[in-house]
Amino acid sequence: MISQAKAKFQRISPRKARVVINLVRGRDAAEALQLLEFVPKSGAPVVKKLIASAVANAKVRHPEVDADELYISKATVDKGPDQNMRRWRPRAMGRATRVTKGISHICIELDQR
Protein backbone atom coordinates (compact mmCIF):
# COMPACT_ATOMS: atom_id res chain seq x y z
CA MET A 1 0.00 0.00 0.00
CA ILE A 2 1.52 3.30 -1.11
CA SER A 3 -1.29 5.56 0.12
CA GLN A 4 -4.89 5.56 1.19
CA ALA A 5 -7.76 8.00 1.51
CA LYS A 6 -11.00 7.66 3.43
CA ALA A 7 -14.26 9.55 3.12
CA LYS A 8 -16.45 8.89 6.13
CA PHE A 9 -20.07 9.88 6.68
CA GLN A 10 -20.72 10.57 3.01
CA ARG A 11 -24.36 11.28 2.26
CA ILE A 12 -24.86 8.55 -0.35
CA SER A 13 -26.28 5.10 0.14
CA PRO A 14 -23.71 2.27 0.13
CA ARG A 15 -25.59 0.49 -2.65
CA LYS A 16 -25.18 3.46 -5.01
CA ALA A 17 -21.55 4.03 -4.03
CA ARG A 18 -20.62 0.37 -4.60
CA VAL A 19 -21.72 0.59 -8.25
CA VAL A 20 -19.16 3.34 -8.86
CA ILE A 21 -16.43 1.67 -6.75
CA ASN A 22 -16.82 -1.58 -8.70
CA LEU A 23 -16.18 0.36 -11.93
CA VAL A 24 -12.78 1.66 -10.80
CA ARG A 25 -11.42 -1.18 -8.65
CA GLY A 26 -8.20 -2.55 -10.17
CA ARG A 27 -7.76 0.27 -12.69
CA ASP A 28 -4.93 2.75 -12.95
CA ALA A 29 -5.57 5.88 -10.90
CA ALA A 30 -5.31 8.23 -13.89
CA GLU A 31 -7.61 6.03 -15.95
CA ALA A 32 -10.14 5.89 -13.09
CA LEU A 33 -10.15 9.69 -12.74
CA GLN A 34 -10.74 10.07 -16.46
CA LEU A 35 -13.51 7.46 -16.42
CA LEU A 36 -15.32 9.06 -13.47
CA GLU A 37 -15.39 12.39 -15.30
CA PHE A 38 -18.09 11.01 -17.61
CA VAL A 39 -19.95 8.50 -15.43
CA PRO A 40 -23.51 9.78 -14.82
CA LYS A 41 -23.85 8.27 -11.33
CA SER A 42 -24.44 10.19 -8.12
CA GLY A 43 -21.41 8.61 -6.41
CA ALA A 44 -18.94 9.50 -9.17
CA PRO A 45 -17.96 12.99 -7.87
CA VAL A 46 -17.34 11.65 -4.35
CA VAL A 47 -15.18 8.75 -5.56
CA LYS A 48 -13.32 10.98 -8.04
CA LYS A 49 -12.42 13.42 -5.29
CA LEU A 50 -11.30 10.54 -3.06
CA ILE A 51 -9.01 9.04 -5.73
CA ALA A 52 -7.49 12.46 -6.38
CA SER A 53 -6.85 12.78 -2.65
CA ALA A 54 -5.18 9.37 -2.51
CA VAL A 55 -2.91 10.30 -5.45
CA ALA A 56 -1.96 13.54 -3.69
CA ASN A 57 -1.24 11.60 -0.49
CA ALA A 58 1.05 9.28 -2.43
CA LYS A 59 2.97 12.22 -3.93
CA VAL A 60 3.48 13.81 -0.51
CA ARG A 61 4.45 10.68 1.41
CA HIS A 62 6.63 9.09 -1.27
CA PRO A 63 8.02 11.79 -3.62
CA GLU A 64 9.93 9.21 -5.66
CA VAL A 65 6.73 7.40 -6.69
CA ASP A 66 5.59 7.86 -10.29
CA ALA A 67 1.92 8.88 -10.28
CA ASP A 68 1.31 7.08 -13.60
CA GLU A 69 2.20 3.72 -12.02
CA LEU A 70 -0.39 3.92 -9.25
CA TYR A 71 -3.45 1.68 -9.39
CA ILE A 72 -6.41 1.13 -7.11
CA SER A 73 -5.50 -2.00 -5.17
CA LYS A 74 -8.34 -1.92 -2.65
CA ALA A 75 -11.64 -0.05 -2.66
CA THR A 76 -14.39 -0.62 -0.11
CA VAL A 77 -17.73 0.90 0.80
CA ASP A 78 -19.18 0.27 4.24
CA LYS A 79 -22.46 1.33 5.76
CA GLY A 80 -22.37 4.24 8.18
CA PRO A 81 -24.63 4.84 11.18
CA ASP A 82 -28.35 5.47 10.69
CA GLN A 83 -28.85 7.58 13.78
CA ASN A 84 -27.96 10.91 12.17
CA MET A 85 -30.52 11.06 9.38
CA ARG A 86 -33.86 9.66 10.52
CA ARG A 87 -37.23 10.59 9.10
CA TRP A 88 -40.72 9.30 9.77
CA ARG A 89 -43.33 8.58 7.12
CA PRO A 90 -47.01 8.37 8.05
CA ARG A 91 -48.66 5.06 7.26
CA ALA A 92 -52.12 3.59 7.44
CA MET A 93 -54.11 3.36 10.70
CA GLY A 94 -52.09 6.01 12.51
CA ARG A 95 -48.77 4.19 12.29
CA ALA A 96 -45.42 5.53 11.16
CA THR A 97 -42.39 3.86 9.58
CA ARG A 98 -38.82 5.05 9.69
CA VAL A 99 -37.14 6.32 6.52
CA THR A 100 -33.41 5.80 6.87
CA LYS A 101 -31.09 7.88 4.76
CA GLY A 102 -27.92 6.24 3.48
CA ILE A 103 -24.54 7.10 5.00
CA SER A 104 -21.34 5.53 3.61
CA HIS A 105 -17.73 5.10 4.63
CA ILE A 106 -15.57 4.85 1.48
CA CYS A 107 -11.92 3.75 1.54
CA ILE A 108 -9.44 3.73 -1.38
CA GLU A 109 -5.93 2.26 -1.29
CA LEU A 110 -3.36 2.83 -4.02
CA ASP A 111 -0.37 0.65 -4.80
CA GLN A 112 2.39 0.71 -7.37
CA ARG A 113 2.51 -1.65 -10.35
Cβ atoms < 10 Å from Cβ of 92 = 5
pLDDT of residue 7: 95
Q: What is the mean pLDDT of residues 90-94?
A: 96
Quote the domain boundaries for residue 108. Answer: 3-112
Q: pTM above 0.85?
A: yes
DSSP label at residue 28: B
**Number of domains into which the chain is organized:** 1
68 CA to centre of own chain: 21
CA distance 72 to 33: 11
pLDDT for 14-68, tens place per residue? 999 999 999 999 999 999 999 999 999 999 999 999 999 999 999 999 999 988 8
Q: Which of 71, 67, 65 is nearest to 35 (CA)?
A: 71
pLDDT of residue 101: 84
CATH of the domain at 85: 3.90.470.10
